[in-house]
Chains A and B, each alone.
Chain A
């Protein structure tokens, strides 16, 4: 089955630093999604990518859909304490109502 490898597993950074995390897949996906999950809550969609090579920004967040359609990265610039949480990548096929999720990257930001 499809699998996503998300790295790093966890990150401990200082407030103000930039963050980078990525996902690779053994399969091609037509859509990449990035989510953030706070404790006790469901994941919240941050960025959706639909085209290979696409680069999309949402405030301090930037994500790219890899050319091979087998990878994606998420960058967070100038991190702040509220960026703390678990970040998930997810791949989705064209017409499926299901996504394959990575294992998540746990981000800790020290003030």
Chain B
């Protein structure tokens, strides 16, 4: 059974650009969450999608957005990149939000985004 797949694994962008990251959840999982991981701030929740609807949103500026498609794949977009956006972006999937309690999340390996 394939795990959570995130693409690309590594990305280098310059300030001011925009970037789109992709996450394919485990087959059958309909809930996808995104987290930003940095050495200084740890794992910070970005947003969570279920059945193409954003159910929860963390405390990030509007430059961070996301969406989920009918096949449960999700993308997140960051516009007008800043140096502080350099981080490991992780997505996690679960069968549905109410079953998070039983299964937790399954995380992907992340996309390492570096802003120069």
Q: Residues of A at under 8 Å CB distance from B?
A: 1, 30-31, 33, 35, 40-45, 48, 50, 88, 90, 92, 94-104
- Tell me which of A43, A90, A96, A98 has the highest count of chain B C-beta atoms within 10 A of its own C-beta: A98
Nearest CB of A to B2, in Å: 14
Are A101 and B43 within 8 A (Cβ)? Answer: yes
Q: Residues of B at under 8 Å CB distance from A?
A: 4, 31, 33, 35, 42-45, 48, 50, 55-56, 58-59, 90, 92, 94, 97-98, 100-110
Please judge, given known A-B contacts A30-B101, A43-B107, whether A96 and B48 are in contact too, CB under 8 Å: yes
Q: Across chains A and B, which 6 residue pairs bring their CB atoms closest together, nearest first?
A: A42-B107, A97-B48, A101-B43, A97-B97, A45-B104, A103-B42
Are A104 and B45 within 8 A (Cβ)? Answer: no
Are A98 and B42 within 8 A (Cβ)? Answer: no
Are A33 and B92 within 8 A (Cβ)? Answer: no
Can you report 29 residue pairs joining A to B where beta carbons are below 8 Å apart? A33-B104, A41-B110, A42-B4, A42-B90, A42-B107, A43-B90, A48-B101, A48-B102, A48-B104, A92-B100, A94-B101, A95-B98, A96-B56, A96-B100, A97-B48, A97-B56, A97-B94, A97-B97, A97-B100, A98-B45, A98-B48, A99-B45, A99-B100, A101-B35, A101-B42, A101-B43, A101-B44, A101-B45, A103-B42
